[in-house]
Amino acid sequence: MPTFDICFSPELLPLFDLKDKVAVVVDVLRATSSIVTALAAGVTHLVPFSGLAECRAMAAQGYLTAAERDGQQADGVDLGNSPFGYLDGAVAVQGRAVALTTTNGTRALHLSAAADEIVVGAFLNLGAVAAHLRQLNKDVVVVCAGWKGHFCLEDTLFGGALAARLQADFDTTASDATLAALDLWAAAAPDLGGYLLRSAHVRRLNHLEAHQDMAFCIRQDEYDLVPVFKDGRITD
């Protein structure tokens, strides 16, 4: 049986050997939820950047630019980090490519480069990711983007939810991280929204008046797509 492990923060990635494994990068609030939503809304592909300047420069190549720092949309770009940016019609996204940089999510994607395949996970595409992993039948590491290197509840809960769906097909008992995430998921699942109200990121989003984002990002199985980060691009 393939193994299922969880890396609670990108800072812990040096302890993991991603070679020959599938990395599922997750940043529920909000980068990977926005990536999944962008592709569902008709974006052709996304290119994640670490730096703002490189991201902004992609406008010259016809890209829409999406950039966020500390939760706020950066100056001089088309979109921020809210999934609603791809849904509300203020910017026409259908058929466009997007250059993206965020505080935590794009960093986690780049730091997972050693993996055999890098999958973008969110509650929004939880079932599609689970089905894809079952099909690949390889060892999995969920890479939680966390917040500026710190552990965060929402990404860990995604790891627990994914482990719960894969318990019959993967060894989810070998790592304490997975066992802890499964327990956390069991505690939170009956009222995920209520549970997450206590989390630091939800408090940050509420402070930024991005109240609807959490409610949207915790919807499960909203989209049946599996974004993969390969050769610098994220495509479905």
Ligand X SMILES: O=C(O)[C@H](CS(=O)(=O)O)OP(=O)(O)O
Residue ranges binding ligand X (CB under 6 A): 27, 29-31, 68, 70-71, 81, 102-105, 145, 147, 201, 204
- b/e burial code for range 98-112 (CB count within 10 A of at least 16 → b): bbbbbbbbbbbbebb
Alpha carbon of residue 109 to chain centroid: 9
Separation of alpha carbons 142 and 126, rounded Å: 12
Which strands sit side by side in the sheet containing 98-101, from one edge to the other?
A: 4-7, 140-144, 22-26, 117-121, 228-230, 233-235, 46-48, 98-101, 64-69, 72-73
> In Å, what is the CA distance from 91 to each residue of 64, 77, 95?
9, 11, 12
Report, in Å, the least distance between residue 126 CB and ligand X: 17
- Nearer to ligand X by Cβ, of 165 and 201: the residue is 201
User: Which neighbouring-strand residues pair with 168?
Assistant: none
- Nearer to ligand X by Cβ, of 122 and 166: the residue is 122
Q: Are 236 and 120 in contact (CB under 8 A)?
A: no
Structure tokens at 166: 């894969």
- Nearer to ligand X by Cβ, of 31 and 58: the residue is 31
Identify the DSSP state of 79.
B
- Nearer to ligand X by Cβ, of 186 and 215: the residue is 215
- Nearer to ligand X by Cβ, of 103 and 125: the residue is 103
Report, in Å, the least distance between residue 178 CB and ligand X: 22
Report, in Å, the least distance between residue 4 CB and ligand X: 23
- Nearer to ligand X by Cβ, of 132 and 201: the residue is 201
- b/e burial code for range 150-168 (CB count within 10 A of at least 16 → b): eebbbbbbbbbbbbbbbee
Q: How many CB atoms sit inside 10 A of residue 232's CB?
A: 10
- Nearer to ligand X by Cβ, of 67 and 133: the residue is 67
Report, in Å, the least distance between residue 179 CB and ligand X: 25
